[in-house]
Amino acid sequence: MKTYGIGIGIILLVAATSVLGCECPPPDEFQITVNNRNQQLPDIYEAIVVWQDHRNASWDIYGKNLCTETLFPICTNAFAQCRPAINGTNIVWEDQRNLNNDIYRYNLSTGIEFAICTNKNAQEKPDIYGDIVVWEDDRKGNWDIFAYDLSIKSQFRITQNTALQRMPAIYGTIVVWEDRRNGAKDIYGYNLSTQEEFPIVTAATGQRRPVIYGDIVVWQDLRNGNWDIYGYDLSTGEEFPITTNPFSQEWPKIWGNTVVWVDYRNGHWDLYAYDLSTSTEFHIALSLCNQLRPAIYGNVVVWFDDRNGNDDIFGFTIS
Residue 209 exposed, middle or buried by CB count within 10 Å (0-12, 13-18, 19+)? buried
**pTM, 2 dp:** 0.92
In 3D space, the residue among 69, 60, 86, 67 whose CA is nearest the CA of residue 4 turns out to be 60
What pLDDT score was predicted for residue 287?
A: 84
Alpha-carbon distance of 113 to 238, in angstroms, equals: 41
What pLDDT score was predicted for residue 319?
A: 86
List the beta bridge partners of residue 147.
134, 156
Beta strands 228-233 and 216-221, pairing class? antiparallel
Other CB atoms within 10 A of residue 228 CB: 23
Which stretches of the chain score pLDDT less than 50? 1-26
pLDDT tens profile 181-192: 999 999 999 999
In 3D space, the residue among 311, 249, 307 whose CA is nearest the CA of residue 283 turns out to be 249
Please state the separation of Cα 233 from the chain's center in Å: 20
- Domain limits of the chain? 1-20+30-95+102-107
What pLDDT score was predicted for residue 286?
A: 85
**End-to-end alpha-carbon separation of the chain, Å?**
42
What pLDDT score was predicted for residue 27?
A: 57
Q: How far is CA 55 from CA 73, 97, 172, in A?
A: 11, 18, 35
Residues in CB range of 314: below 8 A, 6 or more apart: 29, 30, 31, 32, 285, 291, 302, 303, 304, 305
Quote the DSSP letter at residue 288: S
140 backbone φψ class: left, alpha, beta (φ>0; ψ -120 to 50): alpha
In contact, 234 and 226? CB cutoff 8 Å: no
In 3D space, the residue among 263, 205, 204, 259 whose CA is nearest the CA of residue 232 turns out to be 259
In contact, 276 and 216? CB cutoff 8 Å: yes
